[in-house]
Amino acid sequence: MRDSSLKPSRDGFQWTEATGLVAGVPTLGLIQPSSHCNKGKIYDVLVIGGGYAGLTASRNLALADNQVLLLEARDRIGGRSWSSNIDGYPYEMGGTWVHWNQPFIWNELRRYDMTGQLEVSPRKNVEGGARVTVMMDGELLHISHDEEDEVIESAFKKFINVDGQFARSIIPYPHDIEFNMKGVLSCDKMSMADRMTQVASQLTPLEKNMFEGFLAITHGAKWDEASFFELLRWWALMNYNYADFMAIGLTYKLRCGQSALARHIFDEARGTGQVDYSFSTAVATVNDNGDLVEVTSRDGSTFRARRIVCTIPLNVLHTIKFVPTLPVLKTEASLIGHANQVVKCHAEVANPEMRSLGATNYPDGKLTYTFGDGTTPAGNTHLVAFGSSLPHVHLSPQTDVETTKKAFEAFHPGMRVKRLVFHNWHEDEFARGAWEWLRPGMTTKYLQALRERHGNVLFASSDSSYGWRGFIDGAIEDGGRVSRVVDQELKAAVHRHQFDVNSKL
């Protein structure tokens, strides 16, 4: 998918020696022209947010013959899942991995005949140089990928096995969790730090160190601010075992990049002729007068619709003014926010021997978990790495490229970084964090409230979805769920109206 004509979004950053740091990277997700709408029109539904939840809701509502307006603060679709496409090669800036056990994204991949786009992230399948680098207390240690699996699996099982059944008794139905269950309540109150205190004595020093580094790909938060229950939930969704955890959670990506899928949904929605849109339109206020809802953007433009599908991320919701004001639990949950502060950073390095790198650098590394993720068109190695905005290991590539390069170089004496590509989700005003990872107690206290409607405003988000919450699949599921509710009540309203008109005749 080499497309040199792709224009940059404002989002993301790229650094090369030749260009230095440049804000904005090219993406299939950029929408131009940025606006196509009728400000005087009363739409059936106004969808706030063009991530997967909003795109799915827009498309489904349009297919069901509703007039839809999609508002998006960014200049692109995809929300927290998008790919920058550089010289025809996609770098996934957010949500990446997919699997056929994720029912809602699998439906989309089948819908657009894209299942053939699945590609195994090749870190283990490369000839030569296959190895894992562990940085621990300043020392470099090299082990094999098989040893890596053994160490992580052993630690993971001890960490998870709170019930002697590897969490099966706590989450028997990962797509329908009973929040009132005793085991759920107690595991949700527990932080990751609390759980580590319970099991630390059962872990070898290597197990503890590598596992803690590895978990950067899950919570990316301070250990005492991340709920232990959320890890149980991931584990249950991934079939309660380590091999599937890796296969489902961290193996298959789309050859064409996530933005190609988002584009398919957007294009189908637009193809109905029922969807208008306005990008670069950040919402400031949502005013529900009981009959119609008026949405005002930061620049003072107003838009009106009968229903709102609000997909604003949890950590951003409290920045929008709602009239009437949101219920206390919703606002409180948003103000507290989820705890994930991952910084995801790609590097293109001139080291073919790094293609099968797996690396952890914990507790003091700026990049806690890093691995080989492919070969770029220039023949270089693509590494993907997970850092954090947490204070003591704070990684901020856009303000300190040199430190970021050094974090990659730490894994290998001859590492030559040619390019960095990244999105700092924590400092993104429209995300304020990466994928959802709730703090201790939040799931059981707030989740149900987050799903509830507020008058004519309905909420859909991967942050509060049912099954794969925190994943692309959850966004698509929740966008679909809410679009059905909205469609049914709009159609019922039309029937009532027709009945009223007929009664009066």
122 or 466, CB closer to a second copy? 466
Q: In a 3-state reduction of DSSP, which class is residue 474?
A: helix
Give residues with Cβ within 8 angstroms of 380, minimum separation 6.
348, 349, 350, 351, 418, 419
Give the interface segment with a second copy, choosing from 67-75, 113-121, 208-216, 358-366 (CB under 8 A): 113-121
Is 386 annotated as a binding-site member?
A: yes
Q: In a 3-state reduction of DSSP, which class is residue 1?
A: coil
254 or 354, CB closer to a second copy? 254
Cβ contact 375:125 at 8 Å: no
Identify the residue whose tokens are 């390019």: 419
Is 283 annotated as a binding-site member?
A: yes
Residue of 100, 165, 200, 377 interacting with a second copy (CB under 8 A): 100
**In b/e form, how buried is each residue of 206-239, taking b as 16+ CB within 10 angstroms?**
bbbbbbbbbbbbbbbbbbebbbbbbbbbbbbbbe
Is residue 115 near a second copy by the rule CB under 8 A? yes
Is residue 287 near a second copy by the rule CB under 8 A? no
Is residue 122 near a second copy by the rule CB under 8 A? no
Of residues 58-77, those binding a second copy (CB under 8 A):
63-65
280, HSE (Cβ side, Cα atoms, 13 Å): 11
Cβ contact 303:44 at 8 Å: no
Minimal distance in Å, beta carbon 142 to a second copy? 26
133 or 465, CB closer to a second copy? 465
Residue of 27, 102, 315, 351 interacting with a second copy (CB under 8 A): 102
Minimal distance in Å, beta carbon 453 to a second copy? 15
63 or 181, CB closer to a second copy? 63
101 or 331, CB closer to a second copy? 101
Q: Map residues 234-263 to x or -, x wherever contact with a second copy holds by CB under 8 A.
A: -----x----x-------------------
126 or 342, CB closer to a second copy? 126
Minimal distance in Å, beta carbon 63 to a second copy? 7
Is residue 477 near a second copy by the rule CB under 8 A? yes
Minimal distance in Å, beta carbon 102 to a second copy? 7
Minimal distance in Å, beta carbon 238 to a second copy? 10
Identify the residue whose tokens are 């914990």: 362
Angle between helix 52-63 and 258-271 (nearest 10): 30
Minimal distance in Å, beta carbon 255 to a second copy? 13
Is residue 480 near a second copy by the rule CB under 8 A? yes
Is residue 169 near a second copy by the rule CB under 8 A? no
Cα–Cα distance, 181 to 198 (Å, whole number): 21
Is residue 163 near a second copy by the rule CB under 8 A? no
238 or 295, CB closer to a second copy? 238
Cβ contact 80:435 at 8 Å: yes
Identify the helix (H) or strand (E) that includes residue 438. none
Is 72 annotated as a binding-site member?
A: yes
Is residue 495 near a second copy by the rule CB under 8 A? no
Of residues 447-476, those binding a second copy (CB under 8 A):
466-467
As beta bridge partners, residue 91 has 84
Is residue 481 near a second copy by the rule CB under 8 A? yes
Sequential DSSP letters for 181-196: SHHHHHHHHSBHHHHH
Minimal distance in Å, beta carbon 243 to a second copy? 8
Cα–Cα distance, 15 to 22 (Å, whole number): 6
Cα–Cα distance, 371 to 207 (Å, whole number): 18
Strand 381-388 relative to strand 342-349, pairing: antiparallel
Q: Map residues 175-194 to x or -, x wherever contact with a second copy holds by CB under 8 A.
A: xx------------------
Angle between helix 228-237 and 145-160 (nearest 10): 120
Give the interface segment with a second copy, choosing from 32-40, 44-52, 115-123, 445-453 (CB under 8 A): 115-123
Cα–Cα distance, 179 to 173 (Å, whole number): 12
Is 73 annotated as a binding-site member?
A: yes
Strands lying side by side in the sheet with 131-136:
20-23, 13-16, 417-423, 342-349, 381-388, 367-375, 357-361, 131-136, 139-143
Instruction: Summarize the chain as % helix, strand, coil (round to 5).
Output: 35, 25, 40
Give the interface segment with a second copy, choosing from 71-79, 226-234, 403-411, 478-486 (CB under 8 A): 478-486
Q: In a 3-state reduction of DSSP, which class is residue 422?
A: strand
Number of residues that bind a second copy (CB under 8 A): 27
Binding-site annotation, residues for FAD: 72-73, 283
Binding-site annotation, residues: 72-73, 283, 386
Binding-site annotation, residues for substrate: 386
Residues near a second copy, by CB under 8 A? 63-65, 100-104, 106-107, 110-111, 115-116, 118, 173-176, 239, 244, 466-467, 477, 480-481, 484
